[in-house]
Amino acid sequence: MTITLPDLPYPKDALAPYISEETVTLHHDKHQQTYVTNLNNLIAGGPLEGKTLEEIIMTSTGQPDKVGVFNNAGQAWNHICYWNSMTPGGGGAPTGQAAERIQRDLGGYEAFVEAFKAAGAGQFGSGWAWLVEDQGALKVTKTPNGEPPIIQGQKALLALDVWEHAYYLEYRNRRPEYIAAFLEHLVNWDFVNANL
């Protein structure tokens, strides 16, 4: 059994104009596919072949001889979370349990927006911004490179890729505009609620 690249949960042009069909195509079919292909090549014939992505991540984290496995497995997992974190016509204020928990743990939607923008813009170089559940409380965090929240014992609820390949065609160097578009027009709160 090998790790496979899941199909996108919507057509490749569904996130336009905020994220173009060209960016989604390159990002899913080239970048994410490459992480999956590299991972399968690295684990072929070894003890990690046939394991789930989560198992591979938790087995390889912190292992100096498994950095390549960890990076590619983390990125393969992070991108699945990222695509599901968006939906056409999404964004804006949360609903349901997500709204209640953001109010309780983060002080409301406006405070969440400010924290999430700061996390995404403040990640120096490549990485990720997250809404996670940590010890029962929601938190906004950021991680470098391909690190997934699971290695900190956190459950990922919402993911934003802030690697340049995620936004450069539309936004060039203006990462904050990409983060704002994600929050205002793309966030899939149904996915957050399902994760909760």
Within positions 34 to 53, which residues make up the interface with Mn ion, using CB under 5 A? none
User: Is residue 167 a contact residue for Mn ion (CB under 5 A)?
Assistant: no
Shortest reach from residue 108's CB to Mn ion, in Å? 30
User: Is residue 161 a contact residue for Mn ion (CB under 5 A)?
Assistant: yes
The residue assigned the tokens 């970048």 is 31
User: Is residue 147 a contact residue for Mn ion (CB under 5 A)?
Assistant: no
Q: Candidates 49-57, 62-70, 140-148, 156-164 — which segment interacts with Mn ion by CB under 5 A?
A: 156-164
Closer residue to Mn ion in complex, CB, 147/161 = 161
Shortest reach from residue 166's CB to Mn ion, in Å? 5
**Residue showing the smallest CB distance to Mn ion in the complex:** 161
Stated length of the chain: 196
Relative orientation angle of helices 109-122 and 96-106, to the nearest 10 degrees: 80
Q: Which residue in the set 18, 163, 171, 178 belongs to the binding site for Mn ion (CB under 5 A)?
A: 163
Nearby residues of 4 by Cβ (< 8 Å), 6 or more positions away = 36
Closer residue to Mn ion in complex, CB, 94/148 = 148
- 40-48, long-range: CB within 8 Å, 24+ apart, which pairs? 40/2, 40/3, 42/68, 42/69, 42/72, 43/69
User: Is residue 77 a contact residue for Mn ion (CB under 5 A)?
Assistant: no
How would you class 152 by CB atoms within 10 Å of its CB: exposed for 0-12, middle for 13-18, buried for 19 or more?
Answer: middle
Closer residue to Mn ion in complex, CB, 30/104 = 30
**Are β-strands 127-134 and 137-144 bridged in parallel, bridged antiparallel, or unpaired?**
antiparallel
Q: Which residues bind Mn ion (CB under 5 A)?
A: 161, 163
